[in-house]
Structure 1
Amino acid sequence: MAQSRLQKFASIFNRVEGFLRSGGIKPDDKPIWFDVYKRFPPVVEPIYLRPLPDINVKPIFYHEDKIRAEFYRVFGSPGVIDLMDSSNPTICDLFIEKYVEIAKSSQMDIDDVTLFNLAANRLRESGIKLRKYEGSNNIDLPDVNIDKPAMKSHNPKQNIDIASLMDNE
């Protein structure tokens, strides 16, 4: 099947219009948006080669997002999550609820590392098993800094020495 790279040079409207003229698409099968687009074309045609506008996009990160990222960095994924089942919150959602609850109920100003450790310990006390991503069963959590993103994650496959594997033959 021949493939075209026309999408880089023409808009979707021009391509559909070409299909209609050549008979590739029957007039009865044309997209619903085609007549509206033809009647009210955009001011600037949306094509691939048009330069992007120089707009400064603000990062949209909430404190909850930082907590969630740190949770998954420390504890890894808890397994399969059913997104259709909204009645059962995930372990991460329970962790964030505990974290926020501790932060609101404390009278003192507690740093993020201590809040993270307290929330993890409260979840363990309630019977939820949190396993560390590195595989250790140590209850003490590492010091985490929620404001600085983790630069590298633990990947056990990175430490394989191929030369030592070949010498064992």
Structure 2
Amino acid sequence: MAGSRLEKFGTVFTRVRDLMRAGVLKEKDKPIWYDVYAAFPPKREPLYVKPRTKVYGKQAADTVPDIFYKEDAIRAFIEKYQELEAQGLQDEDALFEETGRALLSEGLILRRRGGATISAE
């Protein structure tokens, strides 16, 4: 065989539908999702698109973008806060401000709720 036809011709729904019409798949053995998909089909049919591996003779770069969540900024703040606290800073306000400046120098901008951003000065 030259290659796999998996997911290239027809959707999973059409293949299951055709198996049921041909009698290969019995009505009692149909998947749970079949009736829901039949009642509410997608607006656009899923289409197989062959993935591009080359771009003008060069290998396409397989890059995954960095994803940062709100929790990452909070975690960075807490780690930096504890690090500065271990160095001997005891005043909570000064410790908070110094943590904000340290994170700002690393490229992480913090904002107080209802207030101004922490300045780098």
Query: TM-score, normalised to structure 1's length?
Result: 0.33
Q: What TM-score results when the alignment is normalised by the length of structure 2?
A: 0.43
Q: Which has the higher contact order (CA 8 A, sep 6+)?
A: 1
Structure with max Cα Rg: 2
